[in-house]
Structure formats: structure tokens, C-alpha cells
Structure 1
Amino acid sequence: MAVYRASAAGSQYVAKKITPHSNFDYQRKLQDSVASSPHVRAVIDTVPKHRLFVFPYLTNRLLQFDNKTLSLAQKKSILKRVLLGLADLHNNCTLHTDIKPNNIMMNCEAGPSEDVVALKGCVSGNEIWRTPETWARAAQNTPSDVFSFAILSIYAVTDIMVFYVSESERKGEEPWRTILRRHVSYFGDLPGLEGLFNHIGNEENPYYAPLLEMTPSSNADNPRKPFSLWRDDTLDPVFKDLVGKMTGLYPPKRITAREALKHPWFYGVGDV
């Protein structure tokens, strides 16, 4: 997808060329369905002749920030606005499928009373933020976005990318094996795994057997490290409770974006 930066009447814009195999009108309808949300960066104009979508230009991405320079209150405010955008998408039966720091756009040139945080893009997921059902090529739905948002939240609060795997950590195995093992170790339990196996559907799925080998009962020599038991100065029990409710391995058991907005961790952070 070609991306251009443009300007008109003193304002900056981003123009994206829609690929030929994408249905231009369908993509436009998706954009129109969330255009009223202040928390989703939606199309503000189109150039059908050139298959261009025009978006407002926002100056920064969450990934560009040093998390240590942001207060917890600022992080909560950013995450709540992202979650509001996600809830607006889900209300329109639209999945994002690529929740990650690089898709959290912020206008740092705006004044304190008009700062902007918006959710950008709808493309395939990145492996560091990917859900277990996505790895297993199983069905995705709104709970998949919620899981990825939880992983994003851990990064925003702690500066830890829980599924980032360095070369030394791979120990010669394929990255997906290490990442899935962490899914089970940090967020899995037997009921969640049983639900995930049912969600995957059948033993012919190439990820079924590897996941079965990662069950707690099969890893006595490599015990789980549940996120709920992590010790870190940036982690409080309320935040860990929120993350736990969003990261169950069985997708239907995860809370929704709207339910997450009502969690005590977000109390006092603006109005829902």
C-alpha cells in the first residue's frame, strides 16, 4: 500500500492508495461506519479516480515514546482512549486485527485541551501482539482485539513486550513455539486451554499438537509463570486483574472492550 503525505490550507494529511484487489466502496463503507468516533482515525476524504483514502495527519505513535517519561495517569488516559476506539469499532461489528503501539497515533502538537489519541489501521496482526487463536489459524472475533489490547497495555505500563523473543531466547527453535509457550505460561490454565482446543476445532490443525505439549501437566520441569504472580513496581493487583480478564486463552471468556472500560483500573480517567 502506497502512503503519501500531503498538505492543504496549512493542514497536514496522509493519503493511502488502496490496492487493486481491495473493494474500494466496501472499504469506504467500513470507514464511514466509524467516522463519528473521535478515537478512530477514519477517512475524511477520498479520491476514487486514484483509489486514495485521505486521513488526518497525526504527529506521533505510542512506540516513539519513552514509556518512562509518561506518568501512570497519562498512560491510563492513552489506553482508555484506545479502548474507546476499539469499543466503537466493535459496536459496528468491525475488527481491527492489528492492535500494537505503532498503530496508536497521537497529535503531540495539539494543546492540552485538544490532545488527540486515535486508533489507526486494520491489517494483519504482528507476531509480538498476536493472539493464540490467530497463531492457530482459528476463527478471530472481537475478543482477539481485546487480547491484543491487553498485551499493548502491559507494554504501555511496564515497557515490557511480553512476546518479544531474542535470538538467544529461541534456543534454535522457531519463534512461534517460544511465543506460544509464553501464551500458555503467562495466561493459560487447563480450562482456558481446553476451551482453546475446542475453538481450534480439530487435531489436524498443525498447532494442536504443539499446544498440547505446552499444557501445565506436560511441563513439570518448566513451570508456568502466571502474569497474576508477576512482581514489578509498575504492576498493581487491579491492573493484573484487568489484564487477566482480557487474556483468557478461550476467546469467549474474555471481557468485551465496553466491559473493560468499566473496570476499576480506569476509575477516575475521564468519562466513559
Structure 2
Amino acid sequence: MAVNEGSWRHVAVNGRQPPSPLPTVYGRPSGRRYLVERILQERPGPLGRVYLASGDSQQYVLKSVMQNDFTYFQYLYKDLQSSPYVRVADGAIPDKSMFAYKYFKDHLLAFAQEDVPVPLVKRLLRDSLRGIASLHGKNIVHTDIKPNNIMLDWDVADLDDAANVPDDAAIIGRQVGNWMWRSPEAHASGPELGEGEEKLVIVLERQLSYFSGLESLVGLLDYLGDSPWVQIFTVIAEGFDKKHPRAPFALCKDVDPEFRDLVVKMTNIDPKRWITVHEALGHHWFADID
């Protein structure tokens, strides 16, 4: 990466000046100049900051990956360029193991808080599933699906939390994705609960309350085998009683029955009972949109 020292400038972050000025950087081999405007996120460890930058009359997000992963993600993005439903890097800065992504202001988490017409909701969810289908078609698992990783102009984003997983393989030994959105079996892929992690217990309790039944819970525990998490899920499930009953989404009365059916089939906590993304796209709830 070439740094144009004459273009460095300071910006304020949370009322303070950063410890060093922000540079103008150049991507290779394109030669595009990225003028860093501000810091979007401070990340601990070697990944460092996420920047908002401008170049060629377009705003970009500059985000680093681990140096050893840079070539891997270059190939991954190249393999996904043909899909209109997956946002891949629009440029690269190899010297800093950094990628440039087109910047979009809104994502599904913010958009969902608005009064959105049902046909538009269906299109957003359908195109999000199409993005996931594009990944699955290449044996790529996006390990951090959440509303703020689904963009409005594009769909599945933030692919530095993705991995190639062949049909006969699985991700084990790691809790992938954001703790608020990961599935029960993904929680169980990491160590047991540590001190001060009560918030995770609340998340797990709500997942079992909304999306589990006796049959699916048995299926989850069978799937986990001798994992220490079997005891954790068992204790949480035994906490439901007449005073603190489960609140299954499957029994919600004020939800479109077809939409409810789709959600129930997609959120079954027994991994062996999931529907595939292609089965979800073929669900009759999507039948009335182009």
C-alpha cells in the first residue's frame, strides 16, 4: 500500500482526536485512491479499525482481515461475483490485507423498525435467502447471519465471517457469529458458560421458549451427543412450568399462518429437521411475488 502523507488529516471520534492521522491509501492493481473520511468501528486485536472512505465518487468501507486469510477471501469473493444477492469486495489493498466494500447506509435491522408493506418484506426476505442459496451452492456457510448483515441494496454482507464447509463436514469447536443471533447448536460448539454470561442464558431460554418443542429438544440433545451443553439446555428446558410457560411461535395467533409455517420450519432447533434454503425459497408464502 502506498500512503500519500501529504493527504493525511485528523478526524474526531467520540469527541477525541485519534492517536494518529488518517491516510489516503491506494488499492492495487486498480490504483484507485481511497480517501479515509472517518472511523466506523474500533476492533480489538490485529484487525484494527473499520474506515469509511471515498474514491471515484463512491463511498467505501475499508475492512481488514487476518493476513493469512487475505488470499482465501480474494478467491472466495471472485467465486461469488456472479451472484447479484451477495455483496463482495469491490476492491483490495493487499499491503494491508484490506478489502473495500461499497458503502450502504441502511440494513435490515433498521429497516424492519419501519412500517414496511408486506410485499416488500417478502422481496427482502426472498432475496436474502437467494444470497444464502448462492453461498450454499458453493459449499460456503455464512456464520454470522443477522439483520445488520443484510443490506438493502445488496443482501448477505460481511463475508469475512464465512467458511467453505463441504457436504460431509461441519464446524465444531467454535462459537460462530454474534452471540445474540447464533443458533442453539452454534452456542454449543464452544466452551461452557463462563462467569458473567447471564445474558447468554436469557438468549438460550428465549430460543427454547419460542422455537422448541419436546420432539425438537430431544433431537437437539441427540445431535449434541456427549457435549456438556446437553446439561445446560436440559436445565433451561426444565425451568419452564405453569408459572413460566414456553411461548412457541408456532402458536402465535396474530401472525399470517403461511409466514408462521415458514418461520417454524426454518427455526426448528433440531438441526436434522431444518428445511434447506431452496425449500424455503419454494415455500408458498413467496408465491405471490415476482
TM-score, length basis structure 2: 0.70
SS in 1 for 2:100: strand
Name 1:183's counterpart in structure 2.
207
Matched, 1:24 2:44: no
Shift of 1:221: 4.7
- Per the alignment, do residues 58 and 212 of structure 1 end up closer, same or farther by CA in structure 2, a change over 3 Å counting? same
Separation in structure 2 between the aligned mates of residue 231 and residue 62 of structure 1, nearest angstrom: 25
Name 2:9's counterpart in structure 1.
none
Aligned residues: 223
Shift of 1:240: 0.6
Letter in 2 for 1:224: R
Separation in structure 2 between the aligned mates of residue 17 and residue 218 of structure 1, nearest angstrom: 44
Matched, 1:39 2:118: no
Separation in structure 1 between the aligned mates of residue 61 and residue 248 of structure 2, nearest angstrom: 42
Matches within 5 A, 1:128-139: 128-137=180-189
Shift of 1:77: 1.1
Name 1:166's counterpart in structure 2.
none
- Per the alignment, do residues 14 and 173 of structure 1 end up closer, same or farther by CA in structure 2, a change over 3 Å counting? closer
Q: CA RMSD in A?
A: 2.2
Matched, 1:193 2:217: yes
The match for 1:209 among 208, 214, 231 is: 231
Answer whether contact 2:240 2:246 (CA < 8 A) is retained. Answer: no
Letter in 2 for 1:121: D
Separation in structure 1 between the aligned mates of residue 237 and residue 198 of structure 2, nearest angstrom: 18
Name 2:41's counterpart in structure 1.
none
Name 1:54's counterpart in structure 2.
100
Matched, 1:98 2:118: no
Matched, 1:76 2:122: yes
Alpha-carbon displacement from aligned partner over 1:112-150 (angstroms, at most 9, x marks no partner): xxxx23211143422221201011127xxxxxxxxxxxx
Letter in 2 for 1:119: V
The match for 1:246 among 254, 263, 266 is: 266
SS in 1 for 2:272: helix
Name 2:244's counterpart in structure 1.
222
Separation in structure 1 between the aligned mates of residue 239 and residue 63 of structure 2, nearest angstrom: 49
Shift of 1:184: 1.9
Letter in 1 for 2:269: L
Letter in 2 for 1:4: Y
Name 2:157's counterpart in structure 1.
120
SS in 1 for 2:189: coil
Q: Percent identity?
A: 38
> Which gives a bigger RCO, structure 1 or 2 (Cα 8 Å, sep 6+)?
1
SS in 1 for 2:151: strand
Shift of 1:210: 2.2
Separation in structure 2 between the aligned mates of residue 175 and residue 3 of structure 1, nearest angstrom: 27
Where in structure 2 are there 5+ consecutive unaligned residues?
Answer: 1-46, 162-175, 191-195
Structure (1 or 2) with the larger CA radius of gyration: 2
Name 1:8's counterpart in structure 2.
55
Where in structure 1 are there 5+ consecutive unaligned residues?
Answer: 107-115, 139-171
**More helix per residue:** 1
Separation in structure 2 between the aligned mates of residue 197 and residue 227 of structure 1, nearest angstrom: 21
Separation in structure 1 between the aligned mates of residue 92 and residue 240 of structure 2, nearest angstrom: 54
